[in-house]
Amino acid sequence: MCGFAGFIDSTRATGGDALRHGALRMADALHHRGPNDSGVWVDESAGIGFGFRRLSIVDLSPEGHQPMRSATGRYVVLFNGEIYNHAVLRRELAAGESPPAFRGHSDTEVLLAAVERWGVEGSVRRFVGMFAFALWDRKEHRLTLGRDRLGEKPLHYGWMGRTFLFGSELKALRPHPDFRGELDRDAVAAFLRSGYIPAPHSIYKGIYKLPPGTLLALSGTIAQERPAPVPYWSAKEVVEAGQADPFPGTEAEAVGHLDRLLRESVGLQMVADVPLGAFLSGGVDSSAVVALMQAQSPRPVKTFTIGFAEAEYNEANHSRAVAKHLGTDHTELHVTPADALAVIPKLPGIYDEPFADSSQVPTFLVSQLAARSVTVSLSGDGGDELFGGYSWYFQARRIWDIVGRVPKSLRRLAATALGAVSPRLWNRILPLLRPVVSRHVTGDRVHKFATLLRDVNGPDSVYRSLMTRWTGPPPIVHGACEPRTVLTDEASWPRLGGLIDRAMYVDAVTYLPDNTLAKVDRASMAVGLESRAPFLDHRVMEFAWRLPPAMKVRGSRGKWALRQVLYRYVPPALIERPKMGFCVPIDSWLRGPLAEWAHGLLAEKRLREEGVFDPAPVRRKWREHLSGVGNWQHQLWCVLMFQAWLEAEKTGPRPADHGPPRNARAGPPERGVVAS
């Protein structure tokens, strides 16, 4: 795992020393991603500079050094990630005409030889792995950026004046003197819906995320060309192809085939020249990965988990039981509230832009724990999207089964009636309705249900409503127009029979890369740990979408086929329990140890002066949350994560940010946010 950055100065007015210095400063901002080695390459005639930081995983020798030139000298590459099938490709290349003379055994060298033989697109179609790369063709003067199929590795890019910038993280772009950090208010509106900024957008105007499964080619001779990413692999096409060609075998054959696929994926991802382990929560996904690792390892696999004092958030007992059954070398850390709260000031520096999945806190802590013993850790990410595991799939279906039977006019009438009673008054009425109404129903939930009754017009809109943090007019971001995304554009979804299938697809192309994988990549790389996800081998995804729905979801439970694989290694009794998720008690912390911090960020005077949010709805939710009238933790966490990010932009360098000091408001707009 590594980090890279670079730029093309289209004026070609920058000398070689300045190119090297600029590339080095950008790369040094990514020291946390690559503490083992660094490198710079420039071409003064092309105005291009490459900078690299290396975390050595495969081929620890100097032969793995980057930037790396191809054997012919035509190509120079920056590569972040792992090509798991590089040994197979190496043999294929060696068996062909004019076999390359390999110097070492790194996958980066295989990438370059593959491009020489098959071209860029022909190569990436053969790769099994997670990756992001920047490839300079010295003959054609062409830069190609590429990203893996499911978006495990990040890559940002964009024009700043007459300079094209690119890098693994946004913090790598800031040190360049041409960088202008102008706030994209439309992206903030999208962030408030989802809790993350969806690709291709970023928090800065003019800077984009390369979508998963795409290549972007830029001619070094054309200034400010606006290149469009071109897909080499499409999740939508995979889904549609899988539905058109369902797996024809029996359930037992399907489970056996899935077992073999996952074994192969896990086996490939266990290859490393450094210590390796796994995150273990004790749930279906992580337990399956660890079970398949232990089945292929002659030694106990190192596993890691964290626990919390609050029982409803603590999975440590479950992971301990699974670890004991499988015989892993298990490490468990019980986290105090002080431990978790100490992470929060670091979040803006880790994530570079507003990011509001509160499980970012335990993800960082378990990564920090694992990094003390290993350099690579496998995870169960992707299992929910491929096999139907998220609770909101079943919630959406249940809600529509009820709501869909009611005529739209009656739904709107009911919504008006429910909304006419304040959440505070509902909280007084609801205890009188027990046990007919669950104790989990609160006044704010009644109001959310009223909004849903008024706005939904089909099962897909129920799912979208459940995935939305801030809902309804008026928008709380001043001067913003929320951009269309996959989540909000149902016309872009593939034609699928059921709500759960459609929700799984949307999650796989939005929530998975932009939330889950971004969360894990930044948290793990902040401590120099490489995270790998065996479920995200694209061949596993392609097979999962060939499975009939009944082999994934039965009743109100998902992951049927995956559970059957797991039961070959772990007794069901150790696994079967309600899904807890990987969360922290943000709701109570905002009323307790985080209250003072939050109060400062949400002060009405501050909100007005900054001019991003309408203070009224924000302050109302803050008051209701503090009083216990409503639980607005998700909505407030979005605003707080933006506010914390904005404060970090104004005050200068942050933890995990090795760029130079900057000021967002005063002086020439060389760094940070420029008010738009």
Distance between CA atoms of residues 302 and 293, nearest Å: 10
- Which of 307, 277, 239, 278 is closest to 381 using CA atoms? 278
Are the beta carbons of 439 and 416 closer than 8 angstroms?
Answer: no
The DSSP code sequence of 414-436 is HHHHHHHS-HHHHHHHGGGGTTT
User: How many C-alpha atoms does 318 have within 13 Å on its Cβ side?
Assistant: 26
Are the beta carbons of 282 and 549 closer than 8 angstroms?
Answer: no
The CA distances from residue 80 to 108, 154, 488, in Å, are: 9, 9, 31
Reported as type and span, the H/E element at residue 553 is: none
Residue 650, C-beta contacts closer than 8 angstroms, at least 6 positions apart: 663, 664, 665, 672, 673
Relative to beta strand 208-209, strand 156-160 is: antiparallel
Answer positive or negative: Cα dihedral of 542, 548, 551, 556: positive
Backbone angles phi, psi at 106, to 5 degrees: -85, 155
The token pair that represents 657 in the structure block: 């940010």
- Which of 353, 366, 364 is closest to 641 using CA atoms? 353
Are the beta carbons of 93 and 100 closer than 8 angstroms?
Answer: yes
Name the DSSP class of 460. Answer: H
Distance between CA atoms of residues 579 and 380, nearest Å: 14
For the question of residue 2 being annotated catalytic, the response is yes
The DSSP code sequence of 486-550 is TTT-GGGS---SSHHHHHHHHHHHTHIIIIIIHHHHHHHHTTT-EEE-GGG-HHHHHHHTTS-GG
Are the beta carbons of 547 and 390 closer than 8 angstroms?
Answer: no
The token pair that represents 464 in the structure block: 């979208």
Are the beta carbons of 58 and 270 closer than 8 angstroms?
Answer: no
Residue 478, C-beta contacts closer than 8 angstroms, at least 6 positions apart: 185, 611, 612, 613, 614
Residue 129, SS3 per DSSP = strand
Q: Which of 2, 481, 583, 638 is catalytic?
A: 2
Distance between CA atoms of residues 198 and 209, nearest Å: 9
> In which residue are the tokens 């054309």 written?
222
> In which residue are the tokens 């626990």 written?
307
User: How many C-alpha atoms does 672 have within 13 Å on its Cβ side?
Assistant: 21
Distance between CA atoms of residues 384 and 559, nearest Å: 8
Distance between CA atoms of residues 132 and 151, nearest Å: 9
Distance between CA atoms of residues 343 and 350, nearest Å: 10
Any idea which residues carry the catalytic annotation?
A: 2
